[in-house]
Structure 1
Amino acid sequence: MRKTSIEILNPEHLALLTKAFPPTEEQEQVIKAPLEPLLVVAGAGSGKTETIANRLVYWVVNGAISPQSVLGLTFTKKATAEMGQRFALRLDNLAQNLEKFVASPSRFEVEMCRQLKGDWQWRDDSKIHGFIRSLTAGLHALQESGMTSRILRSGVEVSTYDALASKVLTEFGVLAGRDSGYQTITDGTRFQIMSQILETWVSNLSYREEEGASVGNFIEGLLHLAGDVNAHVVDLNTMKKLYADFLATAQRELLASQKLDEALEPLKAAKKAAKAANDKQREKALGAEITNLDLPLTSQAKKDLERTVEVMRFGVDAVEVIRAFNTRKAQLRFADFSDQTREVVELLKKVANISQSYQQRYQLVLLDEFQDTSVAQLKYLSALFRNHAVTAVGDPNQAIYAWRGASAASIEEFPKYFSDNPSKVASLTLRTSWRNDAAILNVANCIASEIAEQNRTEGKNENFIMPDLSLRPGASPDLGRVYGAPFLTDTDEARAVANFLENWRKDLEQAVEKTAAWQAAGRVGQPPSLPTAAVLCRKKSIMLPILRELSRRGIPFQLQARESALLDPGVVLVRAALNVVVNPQNSGSLLLLLNRFRLSREDLEAISKAAGRTGLPFQEVMKSQISASVSQPGRERLAILREIIAKLEKHVSYATPLQMAKLAAKLLGLDIEQRIPGTPYQEEAFTIFLSIIEDFERSGQATLRAFLEWLDVAESEEKEVGQFQEAVDTKKVQVITVHAAKGLEWDYVAVPGLSEGNFPDNRTEIWLKNYFVLPYPLRGDRDSLPQYEINLRQLGEKDRSRKFLEQYDGVRTLHHLKEEANLAYVAFTRAKSHLFLSMSWFKGCNVNTAKPGAFFRVLLGEDAKLFCMEKPNKGMTLVNSQEFMHLPDWLGDINPCFTEPEEANPNVQEFEAGLWQAPSWLDLPPESIRPETFPWDVAGLQRSYQMVTVAAENPPDSQALESAIPGSLSWRVWKLYNAPRPRLDSSTLLRQIAATSVVKLDESNDDFMLQKLRPLPLPPSPAARLGIIMHAWIAQQLGQPTLDIPDGSEATLDADSRLKLDCYRQTWENLQFLKGKAVMDIEHSGSLVVGEGTEGFEVPLRIDAVFQERSCGTTWIVDWKTASHPNPPQYERYLHQLGIYRLYWLQTHPELDSQDIQCAYVYLKEGETEHQVLTLESILEHLKMPDYTPEYLYKLLKRGETEATEFLSQKNL
């Protein structure tokens, strides 16, 4: 390795050879910089990943570095994959061109000339020929140096920061006495361990519960504190001493204040009496005596001091809780990522030669997203690669992860950590934006320039301040559109966002047509790109009105899988049922369940009045004291709800959270509703929810209460609640948080909710008042943070009192606003060409208005200062509407609101007048649906039928409807009549096709299509009920607890069925098939994905049991059958289920080969061994099929889709 290059090929040569863009001057400086510690401050969209990929290629070619000797680090697995792909692409392109040059230099030169004239648009022939001569000379020299295409393709190691820490521990931990075999745990497991520690904690924790806080918030707070202890490598004994010292100081000041008040009280009373007696001499003497004493504290200072005493006392106790937490993890051989990073820091202090080993192994180290590294990560990376060829790339304006441990000073402290001579460390800048059009850059630079000015005010080094971004070369300054508008309510704001996205939808439709024409013309290469869109929200609560409006308009959108799952109406209902079971006082969850069962407003009011008379909680009255004024249908439905809750309560003490969730879904009838086309209850969402629970249960000691508390906290803290790598559908609007949007880009971006308290939010914190914030003096980045001390002082000469934390209000607010400004900068720079910024005065049903936030006011131009401490006045007017340059012309009938409203929030009035909503369908037991039970339902249905019959020919207006059907029913029918009616298509019809139903596609059965179109409950079958009971019994025998579900009750069986059941059980117990096999899984649910993207299919399935053969390791997938063994002519009907099971297992277990997996039906009705098992191989052999392949299944499903299209056309649907 050479630290300076002997340049064989220059950056331009390599850009041509690797099919990259020609480098700019600032990029070339980064690419060619010597192999020494280098900091690159790179703005948003400046091509940093591309530039470091080109730097990698340059030094592989010119510095005699093997790609295997290069290490790239970033934060997430997704970013790791993207970085690795970019590196591999550039090196592979170079390898291909090297092979072409070796094979035929003359052809190679002709091709390079063509690229220079075509892609690079060079027109000067002499320049081209000179460039080609130097290029070929360089390639000859590269050959002579021993470089080959095989070496270029040898692969770069790309990893996450956490994975590298784990790797160092695995390799060298034993040298420091660390045992192997530790398991990396998730946040859910950390939550459970901390919960268990607190349940058995015998000492008193000095903690005053915050208003609105829960046990889950308390646990999460302690976990956050424990994580920061690791992130900043804090010694717990030092931490305890600091808390104790600050506690002593605060107590001393508080005691002194109390004594001062005691001394002042009689003096003030005497002075007042002297004044009343007109004794001026005594009054003056008492005044002088009072003046000679210390100034008293303000009432706020006293409150803050009392709070500080509480927090410091809690901190002393919390240290011991964290110590117990760490001990418990070690006993369980568990470690989270922060544990591993801290352990690596300690390991590198003890074992000196690790650094030498890693520097020899990796000759070039590339650190991406460096602004997000923690102090612990800085320390271990510094210990490994100090004074080495380290290139760190980051943007201080995109530092948005301080809340999860990122250092506040990683960029500016890079030289100190990575060089013995910090002043000599080079700092280069990438400031050309290749993403944003000019209009968007102008708005982003408004924020960037103010952040830079604030940093200069704070004395930051100019080398580490990100300058304004510049427009890409050749781009027109007129490109791009930035729109903005303030609205009265968030409902109006959501409508405006939808209007903005209607523009995107029109552009998308046009682009799709152009792409189709492009493909029809037979053109080669990449087709035209499709425009993309996103809505970026500071908080998840902002999403809800926007999602409702997008759904109403039919604008397709996509949430992250976990967000989509938790917002699914079915998942919300299951959570509500589980919440009521563990916490009967949870009235919000109970109301959701009452809504599910269509309780009228009158019935709810009757129950509420009964609660008022009896003094019992609402939920207790609902369970027992049912008022006579509740309607008969209401009482009937409440009885059903009571029965559901009682059944869940019966199992909560022994069933796992996963079993409880499945049981709740079945009891609520969601398993049926999920199969209806157009249903709001999505089975895939519930599957993701179950995966979240499974992830939480990994520690093996999960409780339902702990899971629900963790989930509530994870949502409120904007945390991730599972690891799902879902495919992004670019034809849908992505609705995500700003934090999740980092590193992504779209053509159209809407950023709603830019009001004070939301974006920027108002959660400023001082560690002296916050139980769960690590004391700043303990943090590794403390020099970059505000300095808070217990210092009581007079702020002005005329101020006759002393203040405490009030003196820090300004610095605290500015520090927080700068962090929020970084987040706004990230949000705005995600947009390529269209940006819509909005705010509303009223959010939801709030009574008070929310002022326009600092980041909305950037639309007002230079007069809007982000870091201005003045608060907007009451009744403020933003700007004259005619002068507001960013007002869009596509608002239609949505009126912007530039002046703070004096009237009340109209959303409140609408909410109060709203009707109690009813679900579209309810799965009540058949015996409950009788005319005499629901007389008003029958009458209402008759009137509705009459009305709809008339409306089919002559659509009524609302007045005519009200006269024909009085009361709330007319409103509901009118709403239903005018609701958008999405047209069914074949993809909707086959969206959920179970593995057991695929055979019906093979039979071209119209009855099956009709059943898919409007699913009806199948008549109860004694054989089916017997099968359910037998499956449940087998699951219990194999170790899975069976839940008491009514459909599986043996008490309902007649004598003949009981005899059959006994025979099945006896056959199962004597099965030779089970000998030598170990249970791997029981009742396993999943989905097989066939095809790719929008053309793919999802086949949900449930496998009865999975075994592993002990002798050879073969996996056996088994489906229990209580029917007879089929005859060979029937085998075709039994092909698909087992075939799909094997494809699924191969898809989810890529380490296995097809010969490692056997699938079989096991027939429990057969007494003879040879008839008990039917394998997939036997079926394939009979049908003369070599195998059951994904291509075969995909072809069948596509044929079914075609038939479904014809079926819908025939039925005019």
Structure 2
Amino acid sequence: MTSSPSDPQAPDAVLDGLDEEQRQAASTLSGPVCILAGAGTGKTRAITHRIAYGVRAGVYDPHRLLAVTFTARAAAEMRSRLNALGAPGVQARTFHAAALRQLQYFWPMAIGGVMPEILDHKVRLLTEAARRLHITTDRAALRDLASEIEWAKVSTLTPDSYLELAGDRPPPGGVDLRTFAKLYQSYEDVKLDKHLIDFEDVLLLTVGMLEDDERVAAQVRQQYRHFVVDEYQDVSPLQQRLLDLWLGGREELCVVGDASQTIYSFTGATPDYLLKFTRRHPEATVVRLVRDYRSTPQVVQMANVLLADRTREQARIRTQLQAQGEYAPSWPDPLRLISQREHGPTPSVTQHADDDAEARWITEQIGALQEKGVPLSEVAVLYRTNGQSQAFEQALTSAGISYQLRGSERFFSRREVREALAALRTSSLVEEGEDGVPKTVRNILSSHGWRREAPEGTGAVRERWESMAALVGLADQIHAGREALGKTLTMREFTSELDERSAAQHAPTVEGVTLASLHSAKGLEWDAVFLAGLNEGLMPITFAKTQREVDEERRLLYVGITRARKHLYMSSAQARHSGGRGRRSPSRFLRPLRRELGLEEPTRKIAPSSGAVNPNSRAKRKTATCTTCGMVLTTGTEVKRRRCEDCPARYDEELYARLRTWRSAHAKELDVPAFVVFTDATLEVIAERLPRTDAELLEVPGVGERKLEKHGEALKSVLSEATEARRG
């Protein structure tokens, strides 16, 4: 019987709702396929629908397809989506999880004996290895040495080849490279003596097993016929070597990635395999996903400008480095994102007197967002180093705003969550009533601290409620997903999903502001994002010395910007401590963003310090104040307008409306978003000042030489017509 196109179980039904590029990616079932997917363009949607389409069409056997990603959380999310799409049974794992499973299965056949235990942490063994060599080192140095060993292993460097191939890497942990190579060998000896293997050995031993034993390699290749690799820009040489062995010369491979989101080079990750994919696979189908469904045009423009600024500088940087006899790293043309969302608020770039003032200002903005209906769970404060979180923790606590520190105690490890899971598992043995899973979950968790209204304030009671509320929200989410497919969710299925998420540490959303480092924010998104501490020395970080390292810092900021759906705030602080001397400079990466926003260089917005300020200081002279009430201005938009948000406008409303109408038509003619021509704040200043000449226009914040050249004549014509109409 042939299924009709409207049949939700028909193969083509999986492709419904995909855009043109996503549909091309999802319907191209034979490899090799390379999907270049920008931030927020729906890459996970594209590849899960591709797999589900292939399974429904009978092209893929779900048990013979391996989808590989880089975190257990991402793998769990992929499995959950595939189950919802009617493609259960697909193996979605991290490289390490897939390799470990194969290693454990084939160890008796390929190697024999008892498989060694896996070492949790290297520091203990490194301490003994250093002692054998009579090397004295502290714990912090040992962590650096452990990181260097990890880098060497994923880069396929042995203790013997390290010195020859490590290049000009900085001495790790305070020891020279020759001493490190000896320590590396000593560590391997201690590990062998104790019959242990480490995390990287799982990949190395699996690679060795596949290379040395044709029986094992043949069996693995028989098991897995098709491969999908997500976040391909983060593949290390060792992971690529393992992938090649899995493939065994076949080309049924689909890779997905974005070179502009390469932020883990320090771990051995390299975008080279993604960028050179078509060289290795000349017949590959390449699909570019550039429609951004996550962020507003204003946020997307910030991301595009940040990368375009480096592209514009590429020729100069290459010439300069080559003249100095230094290596000039390539900068591939980035994907230029095109937002699919409605326009949102203009991003802000602010400068503050010190870290405490910055934290207080951010807390005030979070409070204002909360009053406008933005949930705290949809707000994040992101920073370069974990040590920066303290000021925000203190400011949020003082304001009575709950938060969660990403990277601290894991959600499923919390005592109240473990107790709740035990109660839910017990209840799954009894079928739920007619009310369904969401109501049953609420009834059970009501005895564990959940109630409809959140308790006031912060503390243990509030934290317990937030944990229970997260589980309730998860029940609603999974129930809605099943309902959309015409299926009914049972308690047994729900607890099974919880167990899988617990194993993968795939935590649900908890109500509270997220505090996280930029690296740990990869793969996440929020309605409002605050990028804090954007100072030279933090962004880029002090130890980013080479152009390659600075480029990685730029990509890290790009990842931060693209986490925001609607509200984006970027800030810096002149001094670290209250009353300190303001010697810090805003990040160099903010310059093109300020130019795009029409802000002066450097940003003149400086929040009042929590400490005393010299009345004759430069900071005070640069503080922008409202020309109506005299208050300190707190956003870039206010600085442009030279008035507070609450103070009355001083321009002709009719003229302002006329300028907006002109801008809309002009932008449509140029095929660009309206705010790219001029922002609302700039139009307000123009309507107020009525500039007539080029010189007068250049004095308006937001009108630079470039915009004057592009839009100046048309704008002066509108102003002239408006003036004549008013006279008439």
Q: Secondary structure at the match of 1:424?
A: coil
Cα deviation digits, residues 1134-1159 of structure 1 (max 9, x gap)? xxxxxxxxxxxxxxxxxxxxxxxxxx
1:754 maps onto 2:677 in alignment:
no
Determine the structure 1 residue equivalent to 2:389. 543
Assess, with a 3 A threshold, how the Cα gap between structure 1 residues 413 and 562 changes in structure 2: closer, same or farther. Answer: same
Post-superposition offset of 1:679 = 10
Assess, with a 3 A threshold, how the Cα gap between structure 1 residues 166 and 411 changes in structure 2: closer, same or farther. Answer: same
When normalised by structure 2's length, the TM-score is: 0.64
Amino acid at match of 2:277: F
Match of 1:441 among 296, 300, 313: 300
When the two chains are superposed, the root-mean-square deviation of aligned CA atoms in Å is 4.1
Determine the structure 2 residue equivalent to 1:670. none
Assess, with a 3 A threshold, how the Cα gap between structure 1 residues 242 and 467 changes in structure 2: closer, same or farther. Answer: closer
Assess, with a 3 A threshold, how the Cα gap between structure 1 residues 483 and 185 changes in structure 2: closer, same or farther. Answer: same
CA contact (8 A) 1:483 1:835 kept: yes
Match of 1:64 among 56, 59, 69: 59
Determine the structure 2 residue equivalent to 1:47. 42
Post-superposition offset of 1:551 = 1.1
Determine the structure 2 residue equivalent to 1:490. 355
1:739 maps onto 2:519 in alignment:
yes
Question: Superposed, which structure 2 residues align to 1:829-868 within 5 Å?
Answer: 829-844=562-577, 847=581, 849-862=583-596
Post-superposition offset of 1:333 = 2.3
Q: Secondary structure at the match of 1:558?
A: strand
Assess, with a 3 A threshold, how the Cα gap between structure 1 residues 177 and 11 changes in structure 2: closer, same or farther. Answer: farther
Match of 1:382 among 216, 227, 244: 244
Determine what percentage of the aligned residue pairs are the same residue.
23
Assess, with a 3 A threshold, how the Cα gap between structure 1 residues 332 and 894 changes in structure 2: closer, same or farther. Answer: closer
CA contact (8 A) 1:841 1:900 kept: no
Determine the structure 2 residue equivalent to 1:373. 235
1:83 maps onto 2:90 in alignment:
no
Cα deviation digits, residues 639-671 of structure 1 (max 9, x gap)? xxxxxxxxxxxxxxxxxxxxxxxxxxxxxxxxx
Match of 2:254 among 368, 377, 391: 391
Post-superposition offset of 1:11 = 12
CA contact (8 A) 2:381 2:515 kept: yes
Determine the structure 2 residue equivalent to 1:1187. none
Counterparts of 1:82 and 1:726, CA distance in 2: 8
Question: Superposed, which structure 2 residues align to 1:310-329 within 5 Å?
Answer: 314-329=176-191
CA contact (8 A) 1:9 1:62 kept: no
CA contact (8 A) 1:504 1:532 kept: no
Counterparts of 2:574 and 2:410, CA distance in 1: 27
Post-superposition offset of 1:444 = 1.0
Cα deviation digits, residues 845-866 of structure 1 (max 9, x gap)? 654611010233233125999x
Counterparts of 2:6 and 2:290, CA distance in 1: 19
Counterparts of 1:193 and 1:12, CA distance in 2: 59
Counterparts of 2:618 and 2:61, CA distance in 1: 70
Determine the structure 1 residue equivalent to 2:154. 231
Post-superposition offset of 1:735 = 0.9
Assess, with a 3 A threshold, how the Cα gap between structure 1 residues 192 and 235 changes in structure 2: closer, same or farther. Answer: closer
Counterparts of 1:482 and 1:844, CA distance in 2: 26
CA contact (8 A) 2:400 2:458 kept: no
CA contact (8 A) 2:354 2:609 kept: no
1:197 maps onto 2:62 in alignment:
no
CA contact (8 A) 2:107 2:115 kept: no
Q: Secondary structure at the match of 1:744?
A: coil
Determine the structure 1 residue equivalent to 2:405. 559
Amino acid at match of 1:195: T
Determine the structure 2 residue equivalent to 1:37. 32
Amino acid at match of 1:185: L
Post-superposition offset of 1:346 = 2.4
CA contact (8 A) 1:182 1:334 kept: yes
Determine the structure 2 residue equivalent to 1:622. none
Assess, with a 3 A threshold, how the Cα gap between structure 1 residues 893 and 216 changes in structure 2: closer, same or farther. Answer: closer
Q: Secondary structure at the match of 1:342?
A: helix
Counterparts of 2:112 and 2:311, CA distance in 1: 45
Q: Secondary structure at the match of 1:22?
A: coil
Amino acid at match of 1:357: Q
Post-superposition offset of 1:508 = 3.2
Post-superposition offset of 1:819 = 0.1
Assess, with a 3 A threshold, how the Cα gap between structure 1 residues 168 and 727 changes in structure 2: closer, same or farther. Answer: closer
Amino acid at match of 1:487: H
Determine the structure 1 residue equivalent to 2:335. 467
CA contact (8 A) 2:351 2:604 kept: no
Post-superposition offset of 1:401 = 1.1
Cα deviation digits, residues 904-923 of structure 1 (max 9, x gap)? 9xxxxxxxxxxxxxxxxxxx
Post-superposition offset of 1:433 = 0.7
Question: Superposed, which structure 2 residues align to 1:142-181 within 5 Å?
Answer: 153=88, 155-174=89-108, 176-177=110-111, 179-181=113-115
Post-superposition offset of 1:9 = 8.7
1:815 maps onto 2:539 in alignment:
no
Post-superposition offset of 1:197 = 2.1
CA contact (8 A) 1:16 1:22 kept: no
1:501 maps onto 2:359 in alignment:
no
CA contact (8 A) 1:396 1:465 kept: no
Amino acid at match of 1:321: L
Q: Secondary structure at the match of 2:142?
A: helix
Assess, with a 3 A threshold, how the Cα gap between structure 1 residues 20 and 747 changes in structure 2: closer, same or farther. Answer: farther
Post-superposition offset of 1:45 = 0.8
Counterparts of 2:215 and 2:617, CA distance in 1: 68
Determine the structure 2 residue equivalent to 1:182. 116
CA contact (8 A) 1:232 1:375 kept: yes
Counterparts of 2:191 and 2:616, CA distance in 1: 54
Determine the structure 2 residue equivalent to 1:878. 602
Cα deviation digits, residues 875-914 of structure 1 (max 9, x gap)? x951566xxxxx9xxx89999x9x996479xxxxxxxxxx
Unaligned runs of 5+ in 2: 319-327, 412-455, 465-502, 621-728
CA contact (8 A) 2:65 2:227 kept: yes
Match of 1:339 among 183, 201, 223: 201
CA contact (8 A) 2:307 2:334 kept: yes
Counterparts of 2:174 and 2:6, CA distance in 1: 57
CA contact (8 A) 1:11 1:23 kept: no
Cα deviation digits, residues 138-162 of structure 1 (max 9, x gap)? xxxxxxxxxxxxxx54x21111110
Determine the structure 2 residue equivalent to 1:1086. none
Q: Secondary structure at the match of 1:403?
A: helix
Determine the structure 2 residue equivalent to 1:410. 273
Cα deviation digits, residues 594-647 of structure 1 (max 9, x gap)? xxxxxxxxxxxxxxxxxxxxxxxxxxxxxxxxxxxxxxxxxxxxxxxxxxxxxx
Determine the structure 2 residue equivalent to 1:602. none
Post-superposition offset of 1:545 = 1.6
Assess, with a 3 A threshold, how the Cα gap between structure 1 residues 366 and 221 changes in structure 2: closer, same or farther. Answer: same
Question: Superposed, which structure 2 residues align to 1:912-951 within 5 Å?
Answer: none
Q: Secondary structure at the match of 1:760?
A: coil
Question: Superposed, which structure 2 residues align to 1:295-694 within 5 Å?
Answer: 314-385=176-247, 386-415=249-278, 419=280, 422-452=281-311, 465-472=333-340, 475-476=341-342, 478-508=343-373, 532-560=378-406, 562=408
Assess, with a 3 A threshold, how the Cα gap between structure 1 residues 451 and 48 changes in structure 2: closer, same or farther. Answer: farther
Post-superposition offset of 1:380 = 0.7
- Of 495-504 and 744-753, deviating more is 495-504
Determine the structure 2 residue equivalent to 1:515. none
CA contact (8 A) 1:165 1:340 kept: yes
CA contact (8 A) 2:7 2:13 kept: no
Counterparts of 2:41 and 2:53, CA distance in 1: 19
CA contact (8 A) 2:76 2:504 kept: no
Counterparts of 2:177 and 2:592, CA distance in 1: 41
CA contact (8 A) 2:303 2:561 kept: yes
Post-superposition offset of 1:480 = 3.9
Post-superposition offset of 1:496 = 1.3
Counterparts of 2:52 and 2:217, CA distance in 1: 25
Assess, with a 3 A threshold, how the Cα gap between structure 1 residues 9 and 555 changes in structure 2: closer, same or farther. Answer: same
Amino acid at match of 1:233: T
Q: Secondary structure at the match of 1:325?
A: helix
CA contact (8 A) 2:378 2:528 kept: yes
